[in-house]
Structure 1
Amino acid sequence: MLAVLPALIAISVFSVGSWTVSGSQSILDPATTSVPHLQQDDAHDTSVISPVPYRALTPLLDTPWTAKVGTLPWPQHPRPLLYRENWQTLNGIWTYQPAFSSTELPNPPALPLAREVLIPSCIESALSGIMANGVTYMWFGTTFTIPSDWPTGQRILLNFEAVDYEATVFVNGAQVGFNRGGYFRFTVDVTDNVNPNGENSLLVFVFDPTDSSPYHIPNGKQTRSPSHIFYTPCTGIWQPVWLESAPPNHITSMDFSADMEGTVTTTIHSSAGGSDPVEVTVLDQDGSVVSTQDAVSDESFTFAVPSPKLWSPDSPTLYNVTVKMGADAVSSYTGFRTISSGKVNGVQRPLLNGKFVFQFGTLDQGYWPDGIYLPPTLEAMVYDLGLLKGLGMNMVRKHIKVEPDLFYQACDRLGLLVIQDMPCMPATVSMETSPPDASEQAEFQRQIEILVNEHKSYPSIVTWVIYNEGWGQLKETYYPEFPIATRIRELDPTRLIDATTGWFDHGAGDFSDNHHYAEPQCGTPFNSLPSSPYDPSRIGLQGEFGGIGHIPEAKNLWPVQAAIDTINQTYEINSDLDSYNYRAHVLLDLLREQVARFACSGAVWTQTTDVEGEVNGLVTYDRRFVRVDATQWKADIQAIYAAANARA
């Protein structure tokens, strides 16, 4: 039995969702090399016999966890909603070399490659041992053996949690899989390609144009030309790689939705795609069985758990789940809660378990000076979330990025509501004159469906965000947020949708979402362009505000002159911490007044941490200096909740 452990560092289980291996053609033209290498510190050298040994390079700025990474990073099981006993991490030292174009695909290089690299990591990061920028095409390689104690007759599944942006996978020289999308997992059944009793070679060819013209791909805030609110990109295998053993007909993903009445709605997806018998068992916090249900795979079914303890930020109760299908057995978990929208004293509100709960938290970029897109360790990732929870916040907005699944498990355990953004397509001036074409828009919509399917079983996620401030949003020919919102509701009717956070609101979704710096304009009868006026038929949300800054000591600052030169673009700079905390108090008190007087139902403070040239975090980019006066912030946040409760 897999216990739901209260200790966050004990996180060791994995995630729900549907895995996808796309056999479609790459977006790159095999005959084209129009996206150049901006830096290529290694070229193909067929004379290389031994790769350049790995060493962690010195990051421009480190964190308290940098030195703790070692050469076996992220050893935890990466999918907490779908855990099998037989699994093996492939994280560690691989080899790497840049490539010149996709024309190299038909002739994969021999192992080892030119130099060693740490997997998972962004090749731009110091932890990778590469620290290269602007590489568009590249190879990664390693060898592996199948554990001798794994049962015979089972399938060998090769799992990638995220590769940015396109990955073509070879095992023992045979091409076995292809995936597009830099934020999502994929699985390849390599049983027929591996030697179960000896060494196997694994090669991955990666193509990542980031925001290079003419490509429009979902990439969030990644850019090859970092400036203020756009940051160093992440390229390559940046989340864990691992093997597992499963029966020929095995569970590929599981959808769980458990509501406040105790009704559990479930679909168990199988590799065979047939109606095979399944048994689902739900266990409480003491390990006692509270419900057992027999059903069939690949069909939605419901069952009841009597008088469940509900999940909420104040009481994040989770229930363990075990699922058996034939010879396959997996462990998972769920939480009982209901997310909805309804009128409370004449105001449209977000409801958690039938009650208005004011949502307050930070804009969370998820960037790190040592790992760029990947936190150096699980402990580091949980630190950021614990900081928010410790100040009394009950929500985090995951800003145009998708995190490793262990992030969402940590939010489930801590009791942090998650507003989850879809990573946007590039937000550049050229995007306004050259919007995404039909195929690029279709790819964006395909990937947002993957986002929803992979993450819809995490209790903490309460809202899906489609577009942020018009970035990559079509606004002239038609409004795609309407059909996208309809599709999301089909895939996941249990959550709310913020179709356009900030600007260019045409009326889709559940929220009337304002962005304004530094003062809030939350559910108010006044607004400033480009945010739209408050729409009383939807929920009033302050999607972003605050953003006040303070320049830290040089030792806590990202030491890149181009970034330092953009600090003055911060919405407001305070000369000392007293003035910083005073201004924060003024802004939070203004928010409290708007909650008490108008129709404000939630607010997102910018932001959790500094990032490169932005110095408006609660904590510096290196996580070594916390700016906030904790006593004052806790009191101000509680006053906001009290004002909301008085309106409820």
Structure 2
Amino acid sequence: MRLSIGIISLFWATTVLASSNSRFFKRVNNTGYELKKGPLDTPWTEEVGTDPWPEYPRPQRQRSDWKNLNGVWQYRNASDGEIASPPFGQDLGQSVLVPFCLESALSGIMAKWAIWSWYRTTFEVPSDWNSDNRVLLTFGAVDYEATIFVNQKNVTFHRGGYFEFTVDVTDYLSVNGTNELVVHVYDPTDKDLIQIPIGKQTLEPSHIFYTPCSGIWQTVWLESAPISHVTQLDISADMEGNVNVTVHASGNQTSGPVDITIYEPGSDEIISVFSGESNSPFQFKVDSPKLWSPDSPTLYNLTVELDGGKDVIHSYTGFRTISRGEVDGVQRPLLNGEFVFQFGTLDQGYWPDGLHTPPNKEAMVYDIQTLKKIGYNMLRKHIKIENSLFYRACDELGLLLIQDMPSLRPSVPASTAPCSENLRTKNEEVQKEFERQLDLFIEQHKSYPSIITWVIYNEGWGQEKKRELPELRLTDHIRSLDPTRLINAASGWDDHGAGDFHDNHHYANPQCGTPFYSTPSTPYDPKRIGIQGEFGGIGHNLTAENLWKVEKAINEINGTYEIDATLEHWNYRAHILLSELRDQIEKFACSAAIWTQTTDVEGEVNGMLSYDRRILRPDLDQWKADIQALYDAASARGGRNYTMVQVQTGF
């Protein structure tokens, strides 16, 4: 099947591709799956069924010939050392729904301490795929280490719980058409004080640290592609119409011809066709482009053809420039050359039914639409990475993203390290692995227009300061990988002057670019942009119906920074805090702020939404007025006259 997507929204095209090519594999035991009753569900939990996430999962590099492998697989808990004897041809005894974390209710397992695990399924390759092509197997994300076997052959190993990986399985496929896929997963989380990038995950959840996510938690799929095919597409487009592209390609050729067709937004009309060579950067220019911004998130569809059309992929881009500059004597973040105050939420990306994985696309988009509805123009994706369709939704709905690198556990005790006090990293090997995954993080996400800032460290978690100050060199390193965005080297706490931002964390009141501060934050540095990286965090307790029904979590609710007795009091306190923030924009150097948070999570009750997404706390009229006042205050300080826009619909 070949699909032209110039005339439709690319986000909708993912659904079209899925429904037009939904040849799901023959399952090895699609009976026995049962949705577990977890501590809390959402309005979408019962809608998931057994063919979850049918959309094409990688919107910036879409191919027509693909096959979704999500659904009911077999599962068995394992123990250390079992990888030496994989369970080929064996019934594993339990049914698991891929792609949901093993600890989640939607997985059908709700595992505890899923350190070692086995998955198994079978699949068939569609008979109408080009027999001269290669068959590629891709995992959106597996937490944490995955060893992949196809027809009893070890075909690849991957480490890193948040990243996509692909393996060419053509040479391992069975001649009789039925293929066995077995996956071994090792996910220690924080067992035995190991240090790996895990964000908020812990084997012993407590208040601000949550239930872990082990195993396959993003879509698994097959694709047909020629021997020489596009493996990565790097694309950035600026406000002047300059487009920088690198088309990475497989095969033995060092380079090959590439043709890129750009379409008029919302149309199949071709603007122009540009040519270059694969595996080398090239540039071209689009005249007078319509710019991307939160109030006008214009996207341009494009087609990439490699080697005269042997490999064809569909993608998109948005024209915008992210920079910093001095506006009326203050360092500011600039979007398309103008200061726009950035106001967003701390977004943890957790779901009570799927944990790291939303129950479906509709649920995921609902969160983003809700933030736009309230008046936010930004979110900080907090020490977690989402699936690719999340970033596509932010691109299309117009939400600026401050994207964190998932952090290491905060520290390790001195007894496990050669030092007299706690260390941020256990040893140099931990730091080296963190940096390897930091590179994956940038490389796999640097083409999304909505991402405007990278965050390296959060509140000193895993931020070494005994052996060296790594953020000083990592800031330069990230700029070499991606010079198009700003960098927040240390969000809160241990700031040593690196990056574009001076970031203050303070609950509940803001201290944004102000001449006052509280430790462990540091005095405002006027040479950089002032941002309130976290504030607010005020809570409002709920009835048991909408709470995470785990006794420990409920008992720790009073650990919330502030508890307000009623929703009326909660909204009143929010008004006071937002008024303080407005004053700091008017009087001082505040350029951006992040309210804690989008939703409640487990024992936290300080979200715009309850954890189950059934309760919306804000008084919308009040919040819209207060947020517009922030934008107006920034406008009076030399910023763009930014007005909130109505949330887009139709997804």
- TM-score (structure 1 length as normaliser): 0.93
Q: Residue 160 of structure 1 aligns with which residue?
A: 139
Quote the residue 1:637 is aligned against. 627
Q: Of the candidates 335, 354, 360, which is equivalent to residue 343 of structure 2?
A: 360
Q: Paired residue for 2:434, among 440, 444, 459?
A: 444
TM-fit CA distance, 1:50: 7.5
Residues 234-273 of structure 1, C-alpha deviations (whole Å, 9 max, x = no match): 0000100000000011010100000000000000000125
Q: Give identity over the alignment, percent.
A: 59
C-alpha contact 1:51 1:113 (8 A) present in aligned 2: no
Quickly say closer, same or farther: Cα 1:399–1:100, change in 2 above 3 A.
same
- Pick aligned residue for 1:413 from 393, 396, 404: 396
Indicate the SS of the match to 1:442.
Answer: helix
Assess if the C-alpha contact under 8 Å between 2:245 and 2:282 holds in 1. yes
1:345-494 equivalent positions in 2, closer than 5 A? 345-428=328-411, 430=413, 433-434=422-423, 435-494=425-484
The answer to whether residue 579 in structure 2 is matched with residue 589 in structure 1 is: yes
Of the three residues 242, 246, 250, the one matched with 2:225 is 246
Instruction: Tell me whether 1:295 sits opposite 2:261 in the alignment.
Output: no
Give the superposition deviation at 1:436. Answer: 2.8
SS in 2 for 1:555: helix
How far apart in 1 are the matches of 2:12 and 2:370?
15
Contact 2:193 2:412 survives alignment (8 Å): no
Residue of structure 1 aligned with 2:286, choices 267, 289, 305: 305
Aligned amino acid, residue 307 of structure 1: S
1:26-65 per-position Cα deviation (integer Å, ceiling 9, x unaligned): xxxxxxxxxxxxxxxxxxxxxxx98981111112101000
Match for residue 277 of structure 1 among 257, 265, 268: 257
Q: Shift of the alpha carbon at 1:111?
A: 3.2
Residues 283-309 of structure 1 show CA distances to partners (whole Å, capped at 9, x for unaligned) of 111222122111110000000000000
Give the match for residue 539 of structure 2.
Answer: 549
Match of 1:75 among 38, 44, 54: 54
- Unpaired segments ≥5 residues, structure 1: 15-48
State how 1:180-195 maps to structure 2 within 5 Å. Answer: 180-195=159-174
Structure 2 counterpart of 1:433, one-letter code: N
> What amino acid is aligned across from residue 271 of structure 2 in structure 1?
V
TM-aligned CA deviation for residue 2 of structure 1: 1.3
Provide Cα deviations, 1:411-469, integer angstroms capped at 9, x if missing partner.
00000000000000012563862433111111100101111100000000000000000
Q: Does the 8 Å contact 1:112/1:142 carry over to 2?
A: no
Which whole-Å deviations, capped at 9, do the CAs of 1:463-505 have from their partners, x for residues lacking one? 0000000011101221011111111100000000000001100
Does the C-alpha gap of structure 1 residues 501 and 13 become closer, same or farther in structure 2, counting only changes over 3 Å? farther
2:292 counterpart SS class: coil
Range 517-526 or range 2-11, more displaced? 2-11
| Aligned counterpart, 1:147 | 126
**Partner of 2:647 in structure 1?**
none
The aligned residue for residue 185 of structure 2 is 206
Amino acid at match of 2:422: T
Contact 1:400 1:422 in 2 (8 A): yes
1:102 pairs with 2:105: no
Change (3 A) 1:5 1:577: farther
- Mapped contact 1:154–1:247 kept (Cα < 8 A): yes
Q: Deviations over 1:113-158 (max 9, x none)?
A: 1211100010101111110110211110100000011111100000
The alignment status of 1:604 with 2:594, answered yes or no, reads: yes
Q: Which residue identity is paired with 2:285? A: A
Distance of 1:131 and 1:341 partners within structure 2: 46
The corresponding residue for 1:228 is 207
Aligned mates of 2:58, 2:192 — CA distance in 1? 35
- State whether residues 351 and 612 of structure 2, in contact with CA within 8 Å, keep that contact through their aligned partners in structure 1: yes
**Mapped partners of 2:40, 2:474: distance in 1:** 40
SS at match of 2:232: strand
- Which ranges in structure 2 are unaligned for 5 or more consecutive residues? 18-27, 415-420, 639-651
2:644 aligned partner: none
CA contact (8 A) 2:88 2:152 kept: no
For the residues of structure 2 that align with 1:6 and 1:329, how far apart are their CA atoms? 18
What is residue 58 of structure 1 aligned with on the other side?
37
Question: In structure 2, how many angstroms separate the alpha carbons of the residues matched to 1:71 and 1:428?
Answer: 40
Alignment of 1:81-120 (within 5 A): 81-120=60-99
CA distance in 2, matches of 1:503, 1:398: 18
Distance in 2, Cα, partners of 1:50 & 1:343 = 62
Structure 1 distance, partners of 2:388, 2:16, is 10
Give the letter for the 2:219 counterpart: P
Q: Distance in 2 between matches of 1:13 and 1:168?
A: 32
| Aligned match of 1:34 | none
Once residues 417 and 112 of structure 1 are traced to their aligned partners in structure 2, the CA distance between those partners, rounded to angstroms, is 46
- The Cα of 1:182 is off from its aligned counterpart by 0.1
Amino acid at match of 1:627: R
User: How many Å separate the matches in 2 of 1:248 and 1:11?
Assistant: 24
Contact 1:8 1:382 in 2 (8 A): no
Question: Do residues 2 (structure 1) and 5 (structure 2) align?
Answer: yes
SS at match of 1:95: strand
Counterpart in 2 of 1:563?
553
SS in structure 1 at match of 2:367: helix
Q: Is the 8 A contact 2:149 2:156 kept in 1?
A: yes
Deviation at 1:4, TM superposition (A): 7.0
SS in 2 for 1:484: helix
- Amino acid in structure 2 at the alignment position of 1:541: I
> Relative to 1, partners in 2 of residues 1:4 and 1:392: Cα closer, same or farther, differing over 3 Å?
farther
Q: CA deviation at 1:196?
A: 5.4
Residues in 2 aligned to 1:496 and 1:381: alpha-carbon distance in whole angstroms: 26
Number of aligned residue pairs: 614
Deviation at 1:368, TM superposition (A): 0.5
Aligned to 2:20: none
Q: Structure 1 residues 374, 547: CA separation in 2 closer, same or farther (over 3 Å shift)?
A: same
- What is the root-mean-square deviation of aligned Cα atoms in Å? 1.6
CA distance in structure 1 between the partners assigned to 2:506 and 2:467 by the alignment? 27
CA distance in 1, matches of 2:328, 2:617: 38
Q: 2:293 is paired with a residue of what secondary structure?
A: coil
Q: Hey, what does 2:313 align to over in structure 1?
A: 330
Verify the 8 A CA contact 1:52 1:115 in the aligned structure 2.
no
- Contact conserved, 2:198 with 2:408, CA < 8 A, in 1? yes
Letter in 2 for 1:526: F
